[in-house]
Amino acid sequence: MTSYKTLGLVNTREMFAKAVSGGYAIPAYNFNNMEQLQAIIMACVETKSPVILQVSRGAWDYANINLLRNMAKGATEYAHELGYDIPICLHLDHGDSFETCKDCIDNGFSSVMIDGSSLPYDENVAVTRKVVEYAHKYDVTVEGELGVLAGIEDDVAAEVSHYTQPSEVIDFVSKTGVDSLAISIGTSHGANKFKPEQCTRNADGILIPPPLRFDILHEIEAKLPGFPIVLHGSSSVPQEYVKIINEHGGALKDSVGIPEEQLREAAKSAVCKINIDSDGRLAMTAAIRLYFDEHPEAFDPRKYLSPARAELKKMYMHKNINVLGSANRA
Ligand code: G3H
Ligand code: 13P
Ligand code: ZN
């Protein structure tokens, strides 16, 4: 058993309390390799932002849990070396079972998500309750989910979203004891969040997605005043990256994300954790494609990963400062 407290990590409790009262959101960035982690830590130290490092089940399979745990420990030391001890949480993203969550808690994670959103309601309550009972013994915080996002949630693919029903949230939170709740109000995972027929097109032919359901968010906030709410699927799919990718050999079609103004608005509410993964993938891929096109002779990974890491850092800094409002909150 490795306690996260020995790794220099923190759980989400204080982060979320401050974010809810301060009207901003904590960035939850996914990572599975060193360059992503360096970019996240450099950006969050430079903007003095707290951060949640997220590991998905897919990242665990890709990178190995021992390596990921020690990378997170290294991240706290790296932040210190860069000159500022920002609060860093290591979080399991979309935990698929009690066993996965327990493994992460036993391996130094300070926060876990149990995603029972595709289960019948009573089963979601039961598995979430079980995770909370185990996690709280070790002061690890737990995120539950109600409502289903369209797109891929790890291995769970949903064709259409099912919005969170505000009538269920009080019962779910009180029966499970979760510390935060992920809700479905129109975001979805990946770089193709909406079908073209769900969107309108502007004069430049860019797809404009349907607006988030702020009415549902406000109803949930009224039922759970001050309770931490989480938004998954919150990449904005910057069109400049899509353009670079497609102009340099890529083939992304109808890629569309959540407009930043809507995320900014959400961050001012009880939404205190905003999950961003796809935008990082796009930033890295755009930088690497561009580099290869301009340097066909390159074969040293450090050469093409350096601009990718720099682009990632720039993007995370922009999110912290201009979208989530988490800059200068550490
Ligand atoms: O919510 C899903 C995350 O973007 C993780 O995706 O399972 O491909 O690592 P992944
Ligand atoms: P995006 O695919 O929109 O980046 O969402 C990531 C996410 O929700 C991770 O849990
Ligand atoms: Zn997610």
CATH number, position 267: 3.20.20.70
Radius of gyration (C-alpha) of the chain in whole angstroms: 19
The alpha carbon of 267 and the centre of ligand 1 are apart by a number of angstroms equal to: 22
115 is catalytic: no
Is residue 47 assigned to a domain? yes
CA 77 to chain centre: 22
Mean pLDDT for all residues in the chain:
95
3-state helix, strand, coil in the chain (%, to 5): 50, 20, 35
Assess whether the C-beta atom of 30 lies below 6 angstroms from ligand 1: yes
Q: Whose CA is nearest to atom 6 of ligand 1?
A: 154
- State if residue 235 touches ligand 1 by the CB under 6 angstroms criterion: no
Amino acid at 281: R
Instruction: Confirm if 91 and 112 have CB atoms less than 8 A apart.
Output: yes
Cβ contacts of 103 within 8 Å, gap of 6 or more: 65
> For 292-329, how does the pLDDT look when each residue is reduced to its tens digit (9 = 90+)?
999 999 999 999 999 999 999 999 999 999 999 999 99
3-class DSSP state of 225: coil
Q: How far is CA 165 from CA 120, 210, 220, 285, in A?
A: 14, 19, 8, 37
Q: Which residues contact 181 (CB under 8 A, 6 or more apart)?
A: 143, 144, 145, 146, 169, 172, 173, 220, 224, 227, 228, 229, 230
Residues 6+ apart with CB under 8 A from 180: 12, 16, 141, 142, 143, 144, 227, 228, 229, 230, 272, 273
Q: In ligand 1, which atom is closest to the CA atom of 59?
A: 9
Residue nearest to atom 1 of ligand 2 (CA): 233
3-state secondary structure of 313: helix
DSSP conformational letter for 212:
P
Per-residue confidence (pLDDT) for residue 153, from 0 to 100 = 43
Give me the pLDDT at residue 160, please.
Answer: 61
Residue 291 within a domain: yes
- Distance (angstroms) between ligand 2 centre and the Cα of 204 equals 26
Does residue 329 form part of some domain?
Answer: no
Task: Using most ligand atoms within 8 A of CB, pick from 161, 232, 242, 260 the residue to mutate for ligand 2.
Answer: 232
pLDDT in tens, 163-173: 999 999 999 99
Distance (angstroms) between ligand 1 centre and the Cα of 158 equals 14
Pick the ligand that lies closest to the CA of residue 209: 2
Lookup result for tokens 């702020």: 214
Query: Cβ(128) to ligand 2 under 6 A?
Result: no
> For residues 255 and 206, what is the distance between their CA atoms, to the nearest angstrom?
9
pLDDT at 198: 86
Q: Is residue 330 part of a domain?
A: no
Residue 188, domain extent: 4-324
User: What is the atom index within ligand 2 of the atom nearest the CA of 193?
Assistant: 3
Surface-to-core class of residue 1, CB atoms within 10 Å of its CB (0-12 exposed, 13-18 middle, 19+ buried):
exposed
Whether 94 lines ligand 1, by a CB cut-off of 6 Å, is yes
What's the pLDDT score for residue 207? 84
Residue nearest to atom 5 of ligand 1 (CA): 56
Considering the chain, what percentage of its residues have pLDDT values greater than 90?
A: 90
The best mutation among 52, 55, 62, 152 to test binding of ligand 1, ranked by most ligand atoms within 8 Å of the C-beta, falls on 152
Is there a domain that residue 19 lies in?
Answer: yes
Q: What is the pLDDT of residues 28-68, one digit of tens each?
A: 999 999 999 999 999 999 999 999 999 999 999 999 999 99
Q: pTM for this structure?
A: 0.96
Percent of the chain scoring above 70 in pLDDT: 97
Residue 36 has a CB neighbour count (10 Å cut-off) of 25
Q: State which amino acid sits at residue 266.
A: A
Whether ligand 2 lies within 6 angstroms of the CB of 93 is answered as yes
Angle at 67 between CA 61 and CA 73, to 5 degrees: 130
Cβ atoms of 13 and 4 within 8 Å: the answer is: no
Is the shortest distance between the CB of 58 and ligand 1 below 6 Å?
yes
The pLDDT tens digits for 75-103 are: 999 999 999 999 999 999 999 999 999 99
Q: How many domains, the chain?
A: 1
Q: Is residue 124 part of a domain?
A: yes
Is residue 199 over pLDDT 80? yes
Q: Are 43 and 316 in contact (CB under 8 A)?
A: yes
Which is the closest atom of ligand 2 to the Cα of 280? 4
> Which atom of ligand 2 lies closest to the CA of 257?
3
Please identify which of the residues 61, 85, 93, 300 carries the catalytic annotation: 93
